[in-house]
Chains A and B, each alone.
Chain A
Amino acid sequence: MVGRALIEVKNLVFEYPGTLALDDVSLSIAEGEIAALVGPNGAGKTTLMRAISGLETPMSGSIQVDQLDVLRYPRQAHQRMGYLADFFGLYDELTLRQALHYAALAHGIDAEKLTPAIELAAQRLQLKDRLEQQVNELSRGLSQRLAIAQAIIHQPKVLLLDEPAAGLDPQARKALSELFLTLRDQGMTLLVSSHILAELEEYCSVMVVVEQGRIIDQQSLHTTQSQQETFRIVCATPSPTLPSVLQHYPEVELIRGDQHDCLVQLPTDPQIQHQLLQQLLSQGFSVHHFAPMPRNMQESYLQTVKQYQEGK
């Protein structure tokens, strides 16, 4: 699924009067990834997004999207990108069909391909039955969907989304997460900026941490690619020997543990996991919880920021 680098940012420097907004930022996002751009407010996420999308001119550095130099050929690059700003607007007086028609024309789609493009975008965003509805009649969640439909109508390879879930209810957020995964499966690469990590966790495969205009970490969140998984093992009764027993297994790496609760790294192979559980039970441990820990992006992010601040 994951392939060549589709977004390549090198040594990007961006200044606002008196403020260094991006300080020598380099970034590479591979094809097929959903990358989360995380960081506190004012870290430079939006500036980075706008620079990648070719809306702002950086001081120096280079940006390539699908091997096209964005700074040199911004209009051509726009045909390979879709961008949804954090505060976006829609043409309220148009119908959804007209809004999509306009977006398609604006992205240079030929007349004969207009109708299929509108139909496809509406279908992807589940707006097909609302095409004749006026934009100002849409809810916030549906408006968001229309805005994304407009941004992807030309089937870009890269979609940039700045705080896409802001103001959405939990149900709409869930639908948005599913949509992003669908778009990824259809071949799109997404860069999503947000500071709500719980929502990003559901669909992101890469986390890029931005802090004070710098990228301080970029880590893969692929569980499928990793050879190890973090497991939590909890016993119903006190078992003082549990940590030492676990340490004897060559496949197990003990992270931390006490007589009740241990955290270990296990191979992703289900057979090995099953064997370990079976052996623990056969040795008389009252295991009542044996499960992989959910990926915790928030924890990982906070740890990265803490390390960065300690290292400063």
Chain B
Amino acid sequence: MKMSPEFLRHLWLEMTLHRRLMMPTVLLFIFFIAHALGEWSAVHVTALLSFVVLGLLWGVRLAGEALIDEIDNRTWDQQRMSAITPWQMSWGKLFGSTVYIWYGLLIVVVVFLLSGLRIGEPMLWAKLLLLLSGAVLVQALALLMSLLMVRRSGRHRRSLSNLALIATLLFIMTVAPYYDEYYAQFSWYGLVISELAFFALSSLLFCGWALLGLYRTMGEELQLKHRPLLWLGFSLFLIFYIMGFSPLESGDNWQLNLAGAFFIALLLCYVMIFIERKEPLDLRRFQITRAEQGGYAALIYLPCWLVSLLLVVVLGLLLLLVDGPKMNILEIVLPFNQLVLLSLLFLIRDIAIFIYFNLTKQAQRADATALVYLTLLYLLLPMLFSVIGLGSLNNLLMPAVTTSSFVTLLSGGVQCAVLGWLIYQRWVSDYRH
């Protein structure tokens, strides 16, 4: 791998002699005190905590702010104008901004391993794999998120790194209960595996996806256009991954598995419509490129949320064709066809809300505004209707499978049509030259 100039620059800035001496000194002091207080087991726990603080918390903050610093210092354009490849830029920024952290983590890992071997810690290597891949995963996600935010609105916020920290804490809280579960086991597609090993391998897999996502998004920022096949690949992978936890045996009720896949794709579509850049002019770029170079070439302007929407539609159509209107899950009989249709319809309505607000000339707060409207539709109005005894009106606002599903269907259809008309009007007035 060729040395990334970005990594080298961070090395110059971060690894001064003073800092190089400071990190091991502080860490050795901490480990010495831990040993004095509780021998090797205390050292091991201290090493674990040090790893979490350094690698997961501090590392996330630094990685999340790496790009923001460039924009604040007005050096980002200079980097974009360079010949640094997206991969060099990605790993250079990721490991460059956190190089001092990794310098400390190297010492922590050595102490973690030595103390673990000394006290006979079970599954030590799986734990180490979980920690290392987890640290890279959350740091890569923090950098990816800041990149997506910059691409989405051209702006950045320092508070974003706080969000990344919160996400990291959630990651820690999710993984922590399984950390000492040596004997508990998961069944994943019938493969019985220790929970800890499963988390470690999963973390490694998702770390790979995060790095790929970072590389691809960095490429976009460096003006290298790609068709959104990676996102499609990740969506299919995630569906496959999550479906592995299904309690149903394969072939037992594959329609239900298909429904699971449908709702995962639906969720991914919501995630992407919120975090991805929704540049209305990309639609015109798509049109022009399609006219000049053909449809395949124009796919570079296809947003990921639209890929997810297409996936949802395909899975939804498959479900409708399956003819499983009354599938029995946990003793609850659900008319699935209606639920699929309603979910699809209200997904389109929600996307339309995002698109409508993003069509304004000053779209900086468009997504926040759309979120407020969705909160109103999914939370506040239903609560209000319930409080005043008009709970049945909730069926007009969100997908609900009841005896009056037809009314909900009609309501969703009307809302989509109205929003479609509003979008068209705004497009005509502001964008059609």
Contact = CB atoms under 8 A, between A and B. Distances in A.
Given A85-B74, A90-B75, A94-B12, A17 B280 contact: yes
A107 B82 contact: yes
B79 interface: yes
A251 to B, nearest CB: 50
A28 interface: no
B74 A102 contact: no
Given A57-B223, A91-B73, A20 B78 contact: no
Interface stretch (B202-210, B231-239, B284-292): B284-292
A99 B176 CA distance: 43
B81 A91 contact: no
A53 B78 CA distance: 11
Contacts, number: 94
A150 interface: yes
Nearest to B358: A17
Interface stretch (A75-83, A168-176, A252-260, A275-283): A75-83
Given A74-B222, A94-B12, A60 B83 contact: no
A18 B288 contact: no
**Interface footprint category on B:** 35 or more
Contact of A91 (B9, B82, B85, B431): B9
Contacts of A20: 433
A108 interface: yes
Nearest to A90: B75
Given A15-B281, A20-B433, A59-B285, A54 B5 contact: no
B77 A105 contact: no
Interface in A75-122: 75-76, 78-79, 81-83, 85, 87-94, 98, 102-103, 105-108
A140 to B, nearest CB: 14
Nearest to B73: A89
A55 interface: yes
A89 B75 contact: yes
B75 A106 contact: no
A89 B78 contact: yes
B84 interface: yes
The residue among B9, B224, B433 with the most chain A CB atoms within 10 A of its own CB is: B9
B430 A18 contact: yes
Contact of B5 (A16, A82, A92, A102): A102
A107 B9 contact: no
B106 interface: no
A78 B431 contact: no
B361 A88 contact: no
A91 B165 CA distance: 27
B74 A59 contact: no
A106 B284 contact: no
A307 B131 CA distance: 70
Contact of B431 (A18, A98, A106, A150): A18
Across chains A and B, which 5 residue pairs bring their CB atoms closest together, nearest first?
A: A89-B74, A105-B5, A106-B82, A108-B83, A74-B223
Given A53-B81, A59-B285, A90-B75, 14 more contacts: A17-B360, A75-B85, A75-B224, A76-B83, A78-B83, A81-B81, A91-B75, A98-B9, A102-B8, A102-B9, A103-B78, A106-B83, A106-B84, A107-B82
12 contacts: A17-B281, A18-B430, A59-B285, A60-B288, A60-B292, A74-B222, A88-B77, A91-B75, A94-B9, A98-B9, A106-B5, A106-B84
